[in-house]
């Protein structure tokens, strides 16, 4: 049992003991007041009803009616139903004897707010009477208490010990209920700190529906995301190492060829320059992707005219497309100049990567289409890039935005690293947008980008 368990146990246990003690004292206090009254007054349901009956007779029938009722009680009623009526001067209505000491204690009981109406003060007009059933009076039968035999009672020490045991048991169960899942969470956190991210606690905690269960589910979500992130980092490191190995091997081969065949130094230097350029491009894309995945917020303080940005991308794309015997078509139904607040270079890289990817996957003598549409209902901008290639297998649509992922339909002659769409997705998402891929019904791949417009 941990420290939290004992803290919860002792706190609840002491609270129950204090609450029980206060309640017991209050009950004892009230009971002591009743015990004091029992020295002078009969405390029985029958006497309580008799007092109430006499009071109602006086209130609704007057003094004479009450006198007649008390006279009948004195002559005919059972011994424990005799009611006395005393005026403010201490004179009993039927001139029966009431000791001054008894009368003083009976009057004092009126200020104790006892719940049982064993004493009543009634008044109508100028007449006022104190009603009660005494234990002592003019009749000899009132010299002894007339009560029903008391029921069997449990002793006070037994009640105290039982209360302490029950309060301890309930506090123990409550402390265990709260501390047990926290112990499970602590164990899972320790395992995660040691690198074991396979721990899950939701199944162990059970079907609880409270904040602790929510914490367990949050831990499972965190562990799952960390596990995915660690796996992604390991995969990225493996893929980067694999991609660097090929150009480095070609660099080493070119250097060796230059040493062995000095007459081919020029061609070897050209190959070395080409491979160095590829390495520089790869390292640049990896660094860009790393900055986007690091979680470090990029400054989104530029106001970008999306049409100007699209024009710049189209101009550069058309230059490359013409060299590959492709075309780039631009369609726009947006009025005015839609403005997006963000990072201009990141948005340019994102859109350029998508368009260039489409150019290299569409066949010769076909066109890539970039269309821009303004959805006024949600104030978002839709950009679609369509090619006329072979598309992507449905099972791979969700993974083409992961680093170093290439479609199985991609041409073997395509010199890419599989980082363009990954950079595009992270750049778009950093601007609060989304990017998705769909296969068109008439062939080819469609990339849909949604970006929020500046209000």
> What tens digit of pLDDT does each residue of 93-102 get?
888 887 787 7
* Residue-level pLDDT at 383: 93
Name the average pLDDT for the chain: 77
- How far apart, in whole angstroms, are the C-alpha atoms of residue 314 and residue 311? 5
Q: Which two tokens stand for residue 441?
A: 């019904």
Average pLDDT over every residue of 45-71: 84
Q: Which of 105-119, 303-317, 388-402 bottoms out in mean pLDDT, i.e. has the lowest?
A: 105-119
Within 8 A by CB and 6+ apart from 157, the residues are none
Q: Whose CA is closest to 107, among 56, 182, 37, 53?
A: 37
* Phi (first) and psi of residue 23, to 5 degrees: -65, -40
- C-alpha R_g of the chain: 47
Average pLDDT over every residue of 406-427: 70
* Residue-level pLDDT at 142: 37
* Residue-level pLDDT at 164: 73
Per-residue pLDDT band for 327 (boundaries 50, 70, 90) equals very high
390 pLDDT higher than 50: yes
* Residue-level pLDDT at 12: 65
CB atoms within 10 A of CB 415: 8
Q: How, if at all, do strands 119-124 and 127-132 pair? A: antiparallel
* Residue-level pLDDT at 141: 37
Average pLDDT over every residue of 321-330: 92
* Residue-level pLDDT at 323: 87
Helix (H) or strand (E) holding 21: helix 3-38
Q: Let me know: does 99 contact 136? Beta carbons within 8 Å.
A: yes
* Residue-level pLDDT at 49: 78
How many Cα atoms are found within 13 Å in the side-chain-facing hemisphere of 416? 23
Q: Let me know: does 371 contact 449? Beta carbons within 8 Å.
A: no
* Residue-level pLDDT at 336: 78
Per-residue pLDDT band for 131 (boundaries 50, 70, 90) equals confident
> What tens digit of pLDDT does each residue of 239-252 get?
667 667 767 887 88
Average pLDDT over every residue of 321-335: 90
Block residue for tokens 């009743």: 34
Q: Which two tokens stand for residue 386?
A: 């369509």
Between 436 and 227, the more confident residue is 436
Between 279 and 147, the more confident residue is 279
* Residue-level pLDDT at 154: 58
Catalytic residues, by residue number, are: 242
Per-residue pLDDT band for 193 (boundaries 50, 70, 90) equals confident
């Amino acid at each position: 049992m941990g420290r939290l368990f004992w803290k919860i146990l002792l706190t609840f246990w002491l609270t129950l003991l204090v609450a029980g003690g206060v309640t017991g004292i209050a009950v004892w206090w009230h009971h002591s007041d009743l015990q004091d009254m029992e020295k002078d007054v009969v405390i029985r349901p029958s006497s309580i009803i008799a007092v109430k009956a006499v009071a109602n007779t006086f209130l609704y029938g007057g003094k004479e009616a009450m006198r007649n009722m008390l006279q009948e009680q004195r002559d005919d009623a059972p011994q424990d139903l005799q009611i006395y009526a005393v005026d403010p001067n201490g004179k009993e209505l039927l001139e029966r004897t009431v000791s001054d000491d008894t009368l003083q204690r009976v009057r004092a009981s009126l200020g104790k707010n006892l719940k049982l109406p064993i004493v009543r003060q009634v008044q109508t007009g100028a007449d006022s009477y104190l009603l009660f059933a005494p234990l002592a009076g003019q009749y000899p039968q009132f010299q002894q208490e007339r009560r029903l035999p008391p029921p069997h009672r449990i002793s006070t020490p037994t009640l105290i010990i039982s209360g302490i045991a029950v309060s301890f048991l309930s506090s123990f169960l409550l402390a265990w209920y709260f501390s047990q899942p926290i112990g499970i969470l602590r164990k899972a956190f320790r395992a995660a700190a040691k690198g074991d991210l396979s721990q899950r606690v939701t199944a162990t905690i059970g079907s609880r529906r409270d904040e602790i269960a929510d914490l367990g589910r949050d831990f499972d979500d965190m562990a799952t995301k960390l596990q995915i992130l660690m796996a992604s980092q390991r995969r990225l490191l493996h893929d980067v190492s694999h991609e660097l190995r090929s150009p480095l091997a070609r660099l080493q081969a070119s250097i060796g060829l230059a040493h062995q065949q000095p007459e081919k130094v020029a061609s070897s230097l050209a190959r070395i320059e080409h491979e160095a350029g590829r390495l520089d491009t790869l390292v640049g894309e990896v660094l860009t992707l790393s900055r986007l995945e690091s979680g470090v917020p990029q400054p989104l303080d530029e106001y970008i005219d999306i049409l100007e940005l699209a024009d710049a991308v189209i101009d550069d794309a058309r230059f490359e497309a013409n060299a590959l015997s492709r075309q780039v078509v631009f369609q726009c139904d947006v009025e005015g100049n839609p403005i997006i607040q963000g990072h201009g270079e990141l948005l340019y890289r994102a859109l350029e990567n998508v368009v260039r990817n489409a150019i290299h996957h569409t066949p010769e003598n076909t066109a890539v289409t970039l269309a821009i549409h303004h959805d006024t209902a949600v104030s978002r901008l839709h950009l679609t890039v369509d090619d006329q290639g072979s598309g992507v297998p449905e099972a791979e649509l969700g993974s083409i935005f992961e680093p170093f992922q290439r479609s199985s339909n991609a041409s073997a002659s395509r010199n890419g690293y599989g980082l363009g769409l990954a950079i595009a997705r992270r750049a778009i998402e950093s601007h609060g947008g989304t990017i998705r891929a769909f296969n068109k019904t008439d062939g080819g791949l469609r990339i849909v980008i949604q970006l929020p417009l500046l209000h």
